[in-house]
Amino acid sequence: MTLQEVKALAAKGEGLTIEFKKKAAFPEKIVREVIALANTEGGDLLIGVDDDGTVSGQRFIEEEVFVMEKAIREMILPSLEYRIFTIKLSEKKGVAVFRIPKSLDRPHYLLEKERKQAYIRVMDRSVQASREVWEVLRKGRIPRDTIFTYGWKEEILIKALGENEKITLKEFARIAKIPRFLASKTLVRLVSANVLKLHPQESEDFFTLKE
């Protein structure tokens, strides 16, 4: 990767597949970005780039790379594949690009204090994945046909989506008068059956009929 290619990436700005970090000062937080990229569409994490896209570089970039590689190795499960490009700006400054493919082993999660936390990208932000997103990612690892059975719960759901176009887990559980776990299971199954589309959000996910 060349400096021109790095500048072209930076010029796009942060988004679904691009994240900038000036330095790896808090690697335990930056690994969330790596997880989110791998769990969503893949992308590039640029170290040594300012929030506004300025390729200013970082002193002793090799040390930044070492810190990030250690965090990725020790804090992310299952382990994920990635590539690293290091570009020198001067004798002391450089930029590092962590290229993270969309993972076949999703969901990856952060192991923190014996808790498992998965993250995904929503626009230009990395947010904690809901239980429904986690389940959809897990089921998507092994593609297989999902039988779609149309019962009274599904009838209520389809009717509600016909009237309002989108629905949240909380809304579905309320109008169907069923426990939240059952509403969640129904929605995940219909997403896996390619009937619904899940739209992850920073606050509360919503679901729409698949076009």
pLDDT digits (tens, 9 = 90+) for 51-68: 999 999 999 999 999 999
- Can you point out the beta strands (E) in 159-195? 166-167
What is the residue-averaged pLDDT of the chain? Answer: 92
d(Cα 3, Cα 42) in Å, to the nearest integer? 21
What is the SS3 assignment for 85? strand
For 136-193, write each residue's pLDDT tens digit. Answer: 888 876 666 566 678 999 999 999 999 999 999 999 999 999 999 999 999 999 998 8
Nearest C-alpha neighbor of 99 from the set 142, 37, 48: 37
Nearest C-alpha neighbor of 157 from the set 186, 136, 194, 182: 186
Percent of the chain with pLDDT over 70: 95
Contacting residues for 9 by C-beta, under 8 A, at least 6 apart: 18, 44, 46, 97
Dihedral of the alpha carbons of 205, 37, 13, 132, in degrees to the nearest 10: 0
Average pLDDT on 43-52 reads 96
For 124-138, write each residue's pLDDT tens digit. Answer: 999 999 999 999 888
Q: Can you give the pLDDT at residue 79?
A: 94
110 touches 146 (CB < 8 A) = no
Q: Judging by DSSP bridges, how do beta strands 18-21 and 43-47 pair with one another?
A: parallel
Q: Which domains does the chain carry?
A: 3-128 (3.30.950.30), 131-209 (1.10.10.10)
Average pLDDT on 191-211 reads 91
